[in-house]
Structure 1
Amino acid sequence: MNFRKILIAVDSEPIAARAADVGAALARALGAEVGLIHVIEFPLGYAEASGVPASELTARSKQVGHQLLADFRQRVSAQPGVLDFLEVGRPGVEIVKAAAEWPADVIVIGSHGRGGVGRTLLGSVAEHVMRRAPCPVLVVRANADARRNPE
């Protein structure tokens, strides 16, 4: 199997930086193209509860998302042709959709490796992606120090 297009899911969690590093190293080793995806998710009713119009909230979130992608693009800058995907929706769904449409040969995603109740955000996203992805998924877990010293 040739991994020519590597899609790396990123967010503001520290594990995303580790996933980006692993994905970039894999891309360098294989001479692969990199796509970075960040998904903006708004909990149901968030705009109304915050008192900020949904359009303004979306615009602000997209600005933050573009900056986050720019930071990660710089982190993996040794790679030629880094693409950005900024989506609004449910992270797992949007990552799988982008992987199918690009199309990615492999997805790299970080996971805290928490089980049970602790597996609520990125853990459940990684699980959704693993179950529904159109390609192999490489799940990068937090390193041992991060597991011993959670924030």
Structure 2
Amino acid sequence: MAAGGWEAVVMWPRHRLEDPVAVDGIDAADGAPFRRVLVPVESLSQSASALSLAARIGAATAGKLRLVHVRSWDPPMPRGGGRFYPESSEEATAILEAAMTFAWSRGVEASGVVVEAQSSSMGMAILAESAGWGADVIVLPSRPRRWLGLGLWEKAARQIERRAVCPVLLVYPGRT
């Protein structure tokens, strides 16, 4: 386990490297440092480990962070009106602001965006933002597997792992 109570695993597109990542000297395969780091943020408490690692990468490479919060919606029920959003736009903005403050407090340049997407397409929305911004790496907060099924975030993480064109760092909270 890395210092700071978290563990990271590198997920390169289409295959997995099993060795845990040492933060010092993280570089892309061609030797270019990760200077554009994208971090999807679900909530500050669940994303703190990934934000901490991303901030360390950004500080080490003088890079920039792009924080993305997906405000998901469910399609309308038949004869049920419009879309259903589990959180308000104010709540989504507050989550993103807290994450940006976290990054800025560590001396890293960070920008952020709230995107809206159907719940089943959260991962694709994050990948679209990654491609549009030109991310060198995605630092993805993750959780241990559940006993029954996958939640929305886990499904989005799997979409990202499978379809990302840049390296993905999966960051699990510390298991103490």
| Alignment-derived partner of residue 67 in structure 2 | 36
Aligned-pair identity in percent equals 27
In the TM superposition, what whole-angstrom CA distance separates every residue of 1:19-57 from its partner, at most 9, and x where no partner exists? Answer: 1111111111221101000001112237x76x7x65xx7
Shift of 1:134: 2.1
User: What SS is found at the alignment partner of 1:129?
Assistant: helix
Unaligned runs of 5+ in 1: 146-151
Per the alignment, residue 98 of structure 2 pairs with 71
What aligned pairs does 1:7-26 form with structure 2 within 5 A after superposition? 7-12=38-43, 14-26=45-57
Give the TM-score, by structure 1 length.
0.80
Superposition CA RMSD, Å? 2.3
In 1, the alpha carbon distance for the partners of 2:129 and 2:140 equals: 13
Are 2:173 and 1:137 equivalent residues in the alignment? Answer: no
What is the TM-score of this pair, normalised by structure 2? Answer: 0.70
Larger strand proportion, structure 1 or 2? 2
SS in 2 for 1:25: helix
Match of 2:113 among 77, 80, 85: 85
> More displaced, 10-19 or 123-132?
10-19
AA aligned opposite 2:143: H
Q: Is the 8 A contact 2:141 2:170 kept in 1?
A: yes
List runs of 5+ in structure 2 lacking aligned partners: 1-31
Q: Say how many residue pairs are matched.
A: 139
* SS of equivalent residue, structure 2 residue 43: coil
CA distance in 2: counterparts of 1:10 and 1:67, whole angstroms: 11
Deviates more, 1:100-109 or 1:25-34: 25-34
